[in-house]
Structures are given as C-alpha cells and as structure tokens.
Amino acid sequence: MGDVVTMDKVVSLCKRRGFIFPSSEIYGGVGSTYDYGHYGVLLKTNVKNEWWRAMLQDRDDIVALDSAIIQHPRVWEASGHLAGFTDPLVDCRTCKQRFRADHLDQLQCGQKPSKRPGEGPDCDLTEARDFNLMFETTVGPVKESGATVYLRPETAQGIFINFKNVLQFSRRKPPFGIAQIGKSFRNEITPGNFVFRTREFEQMEMEFFVPPAEADRWFAHWLAERERWYVELGIRPDHLRLRAHDADELSHYSSGTSDVEYLFPIGWSELEGIANRGDFDLSRHAEHANEKLEYVDTATRERYVPHVIEPAAGADRATLAFLVDAYDEEQVEGETRTLLRLHPRLAPVKVAVLPLVKKDGQPEVAREIWADLRRRMQAEYDEGGSIGKRYRRQDEIGTPWGVTVDHQTLEDRTVTLRDRDSLEQVRVPIEGLGDELERRLRAPWATPKLAADPA
Ligand code: ATP
C-alpha cells in the first residue's frame, strides 16, 4: 500500500484538530500566515526541545543564545543581506500578480491556472528585477526622522555578532558551537505550501566554530548528525536524503553546502541547509565593526579566525515534515482510522485517560490516574462521547497511549493500556503505570509505516 498522505489531508487535519490554522481568519485571512493552536504549539515545542536536547544536552561543546530580532542595521550591511538577499521578481501587468522569476516553471498564471505565468494569451510580464526579502521598519518616535532597521531574515547573524561575548563568558575554545532558536522574517514573493514557506517562521540555527584545518571533518560530522536527528525522531530514512549543492548553487560565502531534503507530497524539498561558511562571517563583521573577532590560544599564542559549519533548520518546516511523515489511514472493522504515527517524544499528548462510562465511580478513578500521570508528562482526560469517538480523536492528534478505566478497575485497580500504532490493549496495574509509560517514552521507536510502505 502506498503512502496515503497528501498536503490537503494534513492541512485539513491540522485545522480540524486545532494544530495550525490560517491567521486573521475573522478578517478574511492574510495569505500564507498561520497561527498554531494548542496541539500545534505542543508539537512544535517538542520539535524545538528535541533540537535543544541534541545541541545542549547530548553533547558538551555547544552553548545557547537568544539574540534580538531588531539588530543594528549595519549587521545586514556586513552580512551581505542588504545588497544581496534578493530574489528576482517579475510583475504581470495584466493580472497584477508577482512571481519569482526563477520559479516561473512551477507557478500558475494569475488568469489561467493551467498555464505558467507568461504563457497565457494576455500575460504581460515585466523584466526581472531584484527584490530584497528583508522587512523594513523604523525605530524612533517620528517615522521621518527615525532610523531604518530590519526584522532579521535569519538568526545566524545574531550569533556571529556575539562571538566575542560568548567566547569570553563561556570559556570555550574551538571547536565549539552557539545555538539559537527564534523567529525570522522574509518577505517571500511566493510563499506557500502551508507552513513550508511563510513570511514569518522559526529557525533553529547553530554556528560551529572550528580551527580552519578541521572544517572539512566537522562539515561531514554535522551532515551525519543532522540526518540522524530526523531519523531518530521517526522520519522514514527512505524519505530523507542529503543533497550536495552544485557549484553554481553555492552562496557566495560557502565552500560547501548540503541540504537535508524530505520527500514531501510536493516532491523532494529542503528541510535544512548545512554549510561550510569558512571565515566569511567573522571576517566581515571584524571589518565592518572594526573589532578583532578571532581566537587566541593563551598557551601557544596562536591566533586565527575560526571557520564556521552551520546547520540551519526551520522549526515549522520540520514540524510539517513530522506531520506529513506521521499521517496515516488504515481500515479497522470497515472504518477508516486516521492517525498521526508521531514519535512518542514528539506527540503533543503522551497519554489520554478515559473512563469507559461517565458513572459508577469511573470518572473519579480516571481523574486520580490523570492527576498522577500529568506530573510526569503531557496527559489529557476525556470523558465526553463514546469511547470509540474519544479514541479516534486521540489517534488524530497522535497520542501514543490510551488508558481506559472500566468496571474491573474498581475491583482490581487495573486499567487497559492501548497502543496507538498496534491497537494492542493490555491490562496493567495502576500502580507502576507512570513508570511503564516513561520507560516506553524513552525506548527507541520506528514508525510502522516503514514496514507497510516500501515506496
Ligand atoms: P529556501 O531555499 O527553501 O527558500 P533557504 O535556502 O533560503 O530556503 P536558509 O536560509 O538556508 O533557507 O534557512 C534555513 C532553513 O530555514 C531552511 O532550510 C528552512 O527550513 C527554513 N526556512 C527558510 N525560509 C523559510 C520560510 N520562508 N518559511 C519557513 N521556513 C523557512
């Protein structure tokens, strides 16, 4: 059986279950802008926490940073964004739409969607011109006399400009890294595909500073590490690949870049870029700020500008990939069961506690169990509607385990523990339930979609 997932199904599940929905809907919406609801927040937070865990907890050579969104405008002069962070844009004089000149072959004409822009009989495209993707705003009380500043288009520059600070207080020496998660803003000409490309998004970026001679080795290290991260969190390995950029694709600063790509329903697309940036960033800021941004070894007096390996991921894009990879449908007793086979560590809710009926003392015991479990993990209590309907709801939000309290529970203090993926139900004592769930949560996990879908 092939993979049943489509982007439309994921979008509609996200809306139906309150993961992610179009922003400003009561005002008619603003294109390609989304808000995250309860389960979306929990899911994306888990994705970010897993990233932090991989950066900060599982190793001891990276420190965290949270830099400002609005930085000195000269940061963007030094980084090259002011001059070069542009996409080529064409306007259509007929339909008044704007298109990315380098994406015309994937876009639809504003009047005849079956045609590409420029192919329709009335299309009248302008010449391509460069369009800077940075959002501008003004700092200061009076717009006219204020200073123009920019909403950061990436989190990385906030790391480079703090290199000296961090070096001093963290007492690190290369190789070491600085990691940051935060919002970035790009005035994308053609955003789309749900949260794959939006104008406001969260990035998870890490700059790893190394002695120049070690750059190639660390580049290879981070390629492998970042690919492993997605696989460990349940992404099917056959839906993930590393793709090295061709020489003509490379950014001006990069001597090597590879993308981690995921096979979305829209085709193979970038999840994360891993670049060998050399000493470009530190040298540029050193020059523009007239500061020495280098490492001096106190023992050997050796001084050098570290080279940088950067894994740059998107939290929203990763969240979308996890959702797409987890989405599944199967036939159970003549009905279609829709579920998210999320890695338990990513699942918004780990366990749902459900009394079989809303009487006979069952809700009271179930609430007791819930109160105990929620001290350890995200747990939900639900007593409304038929048990089948409640299971379906939990399946759709990807809850890996369900605990059901029934009449036998009142007699022998046991409950049934239901597994989302296998639908197996086992009877277990209430005593030790929390330990058992924590054990399961720590265990390695692989999606059953792997076995079912060789495609
Ligand atoms: P793309 O080619 O898709 O525009 P990029 O190469 O410009 O991406 P980077 O500048 O390398 O992207 O940013 C690192 C990561 O940030 C991307 O791999 C992606 O996960 C995320 N990202 C970048 N732009 C967006 C966006 N507009 N919406 C959502 N996520 C984004």
The pLDDT tens digits for 334-355 are 999 999 999 999 999 999 999 9
Which pLDDT value is given to residue 254?
Answer: 74
b/e per residue, 277-308, with b = 16+ CB within 10 A? bbbbbbebbbeeeeeebbbeeeeeeeeebbbb
To the question of pTM greater than 0.85 for the whole model, the response is yes
Write down the pLDDT at residue 253. Answer: 73
What is the C-alpha to C-alpha distance for residues 291 and 140, in angstroms, rounded to an integer? 27
pLDDT of residue 454 exceeding 60: no
Q: How far is the CA of 314 from the centre of ligand 1 (A)?
A: 6
pLDDT at 455 over 60: no
Reported confidence tier of residue 106, pLDDT bands at 50, 70, 90: confident
Centre of ligand 1 to C-alpha 203, Å, is 8
Query: In angstroms, what is the span from residue 455 Cα to ligand 1's centroid?
Result: 27
CB 293 within 8 A of CB 282: yes
Distance CA 242, CA 226 (A): 10
Residue that wins the pLDDT comparison between 170 and 235: 235
Confidence of residue 38 (pLDDT cuts 50, 70, 90): very high
User: Counting atoms of ligand 1 from 1, which one is nearest the CA of 203?
Assistant: 16
CA–CA separation, 18 vs 35, rounded Å? Answer: 10
Ligand 1, pocket residues at CB < 6 Å: 154, 186, 188, 197-198, 201, 203, 270-273, 312-314, 316-317
Asked if the model's pLDDT at residue 365 lies above 60, the reply is yes
Tell me phi and psi for residue 194, to 5 degrees: 60, -130
Distance CA 324, CA 337 (A): 16
Q: How confident is the model at residue 144 (pLDDT cuts 50, 70, 90)?
A: low
Does 370 have pLDDT greater than 90?
Answer: yes
Residue-level pLDDT at 145: 66
Judged against a pLDDT cut of 70, whether residue 306 lies above it is answered with yes
Over 60: is that where the pLDDT of 71 sits? yes
Residue-wise pLDDT for 204-215, tens only, equals 999 999 999 999
**What is the pLDDT at residue 110?**
86
Which of 33, 34, 202, 203 to mutate to test ligand 1, by most ligand atoms within 8 A of the CB atom?
203
| 453 confidence band (pLDDT: 50, 70, 90) | low
- The pLDDT confidence band at residue 32, using thresholds 50, 70 and 90, is confident
CB proximity list for 167: less than 8 A, separation 6 or greater: 295
In whole angstroms, what is the distance from residue 394 CA to residue 372 CA?
A: 19
